[in-house]
Amino acid sequence: MVIDLASEETLKLIAESVKVPPSDSYRSTSYLQSEEAYLAKYQASIEDPESFWREIADELTWQHREQAVVEGSLPDFRFFPGSFINVSENCVDRHATNPASRNKVALFFEGENGERKAVTYLQLQREVSKFANVLKSLGLQKGDVVSVYMQNLIETYVVLLACLRIGVIYNTVFAGFSAEALRERIVSSNAKAVICANGSYRRGKVLRLKEIVDEALDCENQVENVVVYNRVQGLETPMMEGRDHDYDAIISQALANCPPEPLDANDPGLLIFTSGTSGKPKGIVHAGGGFLIGTYAYTKYQLDLRPEDVYWNTADIGWLTSHIFVLVGGLALGTTTILYEGAIDFPHQGRLYEVMERYSVNKVFSAPTAYRMMLKYGLDLAQKYDLSNLSLLVSVGEPLNPEAWQWMRKALGRGDVVINNTWGQTETGGTPLASIPGATVMKAGSCGVPFFGHQVDIVGSDGESVPDGTPGYLIIRNPFPSLARDIFGDHDRYLRSYFAQVPGAYFTGDSAVRDSDGQFWVLGRVDDVINVSGHRISTMEMESSLINHRAVVEAAVVGQPDEVKGVVPVAFITLEKSFAPSDELAAELKQQIVNDIGSFARPERVHFVEAMPKTRSGKIIRRMLREIIQNGEVRGDVTGLEDSDILDKLVLDVTGQGNAV
Ligand code: PRX
């Protein structure tokens, strides 16, 4: 069954896209060196996924290994059941005990304020062990949850690796989230401790993180301890006697020896909240060992990552991308990584390039938004810096438009850099679609090909596969190690959200099309989730926030395409009779979203309208709102409207009267 998920123009663009092979020089050193090699390995991994995952597992360090590779099927599955593996041991000790890598830099830190630090694998092992002992001294045990509210810092990595060392489940909360959003995550995960920085630098300003933590904890909760890292020297930081501890003081007293605990490969390792289709964020649970096995495989083949690389992933630790490709995947492969705090175009537009030049970075991973921002800053700026070491540019999180792709290749990569637009989700714990650098051809804007061991398919609403060139729902038909194992505290929601749509398969919530060359193109979400600068936001979560305002009767939020951010949220509001549209009210409503969710979700505009377009059953037809802001009119089908008379007025409200604030 064909579903209307893509415009004619999009399908034409996809059908006409040109294959670009990787350069011979790249190919000569990559793990896989031809399309045939990819196809043969992929085919073998689908016929016998166990052998592929066994091959990956053989490259890791195990504490105890049973024979079994996969047990069960979707949605109830385990990888390496009864086998024991420790993530922290694989990411740190393996390299710290190897004379060839122990003194190699694991992480270079560059603060937005210009501060620089570095840590070797050996030093990292010592710090991680000490902090694991700190966690133990605070009474934390395997299975307890700790919330981590920190920006990209070496200390953040120490904290997370320490949790992984002893089986404490960490939950990183993006340090741009509001106190309200942080509170919701702390409370609903039953966190017993919070680890935070006192502040962070962002665009030259100091964000007072510890104060936000205090505000978040002003409620009933189970947090007994808060550890505060003084990132911003001299910042007055309120500390609560008995509950709050200074990171430096407490770690200085800890012993540097803490053996990594043997943990079942399917034990929960990390928890990360993400937006779903309903108002309440979902606490995605990943198995520690499973996450390691998966991320190691993705990072090795899709980033072609090696110990000699100097690699920079600009993602913030609040998003799973950094856990997949840096914290776990990157460190497990023993590479050297840059950690950057703050905005990559501050204090000047060339900051990204300056850092790349300083460390001779050869692989860069960022979001399409960031690449588009650099495109806007222009070619001249890029050419002022020595980027000659660059061989691979990677992106994730939102569609990478062909224009940005072409620009990246030309301006950043001298026309021969490999570009890898990867597709993944918080739930997939990795990127089931991507190119294999050096092996597969690229196409400007495509998400490449399925990863080994992943049966990725596109289906119609009847669950049957659709032919190439036909858009449909993106699904994955078999289990893989880094796939989310649960939604924290709500297993029914896990089953309902991902496994109810197509029996026996994982439903991604995205639409996609496969072209005649076998390349996948992800078109967008099929639910109420939008991606703003790669930040995944539920429009329903925003609407629930707006409705709480006393002036609001109804709220609808839709995404509007934006040149840099990909999509920006636009809110539509109908008001209580006693309120009139005003700039002040619009500002208040925007602030309400900032308070409830975070500033990254601030609506670009608020439109006050007299009535919403609705179906006969009373559902707001968001598609029409989208059409009005994009085209200034509704061109699509209007027969579902309960009251078609409202359309003209609505269009006028939005485009004519200047009611947008
Ligand atoms: O809609 C897809 C979009 O981002 C969603 C996942 O967002 P998040 O959970 O924040 O995961 C980030 C990656 C670990 C997807 O459902 N998305 C991700 N990558 C792409 C994409 N859309 C188009 N092209 C991509 N390359």
Question: Cα(120) to centroid of ligand 1, in Å?
Answer: 32
Q: Where do runs of H (alpha helix) occur along 234-319?
A: 247-252, 288-302
Contacts of 591 (CB under 8 A, 6+ apart): none
CATH number at residue 198: 3.40.50.980
**Cβ distance 429 to 482 under 8 Å?**
yes
Residue 642 lies in a domain: yes
CATH number at residue 589: 3.30.300.30
E-only strand ranges, 374-517: 392-395, 418-421, 423-425, 430-434, 449-450, 456-459, 472-476, 486-487, 506-514
Q: Which one, of 80, 79, 83, 81, lies nearest residue 479 by Cα?
A: 79
Residue at which a domain ends, from 207, 241, 264: 264
| Ligand 1 mutation pick, 536, 538, 567, max ligand atoms within 8 A of CB | 536
Q: Which atom of ligand 1 has the smallest separation from the CA of 421?
A: 26
The 10 Å Cβ neighbour count of residue 655 is: 16
Question: Cα(431) to centroid of ligand 1, in Å?
Answer: 9
Residue at which a domain ends, from 233, 249, 264: 264
Residue 471 lies in a domain: no
Rg (alpha carbons) of the chain, rounded to whole number: 24
* Paired residues of 380 in beta bridges: none
Q: Which one, of 508, 503, 511, lies nearest residue 470 by Cα?
A: 511
Q: What is the rounded CA–CA span in Å between residue 108 and residue 284?
A: 29
Residue 231 lies in a domain: yes
Q: Which atom of ligand 1 has the smallest separation from the CA of 509?
A: 16
Residue nearest to atom 24 of ligand 1 (CA): 399
Domain that holds residue 139: 124-264
**Cβ distance 269 to 289 under 8 Å?**
yes
269 CB within 6 A, ligand 1: no
Residue 224 lies in a domain: yes
Query: Model-level pTM?
Result: 0.91
Residue 343 lies in a domain: no
447 CB within 6 A, ligand 1: yes
**How many structural domains is the chain composed of?**
2
pLDDT in the model for residue 657: 54
pLDDT in the model for residue 1: 36
Question: Cα(452) to centroid of ligand 1, in Å?
Answer: 19
pLDDT in the model for residue 105: 98
Question: Cα(531) to centroid of ligand 1, in Å?
Answer: 8
Q: What is the rounded CA–CA span in Å between residue 159 and residue 170?
A: 9
Q: Which atom of ligand 1 has the smallest separation from the CA of 508?
A: 16
* Angle at CA of residue 113, ends 111 and 118, nearest 5°: 30
| Ligand 1 mutation pick, 303, 398, 401, 421, max ligand atoms within 8 A of CB | 398
* Angle at CA of residue 167, ends 276 and 172, nearest 5°: 35
**Cβ distance 323 to 172 under 8 Å?**
yes
Residue 576 lies in a domain: yes
Diameter of the chain measured on Cα atoms = 76
456-459 and 225-229: which strand pairing?
unpaired
Residue 2 lies in a domain: no
Residue 413: DSSP 8-state: T
Q: What is the mean pLDDT of each run of 10 residues along the chain (661 residues)?
A: 63 92 93 97 98 98 98 98 98 98 98 97 98 98 98 98 98 94 96 98 96 98 98 97 98 98 98 80 96 98 97 96 98 98 95 97 94 91 95 93 92 91 97 98 96 97 94 96 97 96 95 96 86 85 89 91 90 92 95 92 94 78 87 78 81 70 59
Whether residue 402 has a cis bond before it, omega within 30° of 0: no
Contacts of 478 (CB under 8 A, 6+ apart): 49, 73, 74, 453, 454, 455
Residue at which a domain ends, from 264, 298, 333: 264
To the nearest 5 percent, what fractions of the chain are helix, strand and coil? 35, 25, 45
455, two tokens: 């049966």
Q: What is the rounded CA–CA span in Å between residue 14 and residue 267?
A: 41
Residue 155 lies in a domain: yes
Q: Which atom of ligand 1 has the smallest separation from the CA of 525?
A: 1
Question: Cα(459) to centroid of ligand 1, in Å?
Answer: 19
Q: How far apart are the first and last CA of the chain?
A: 42
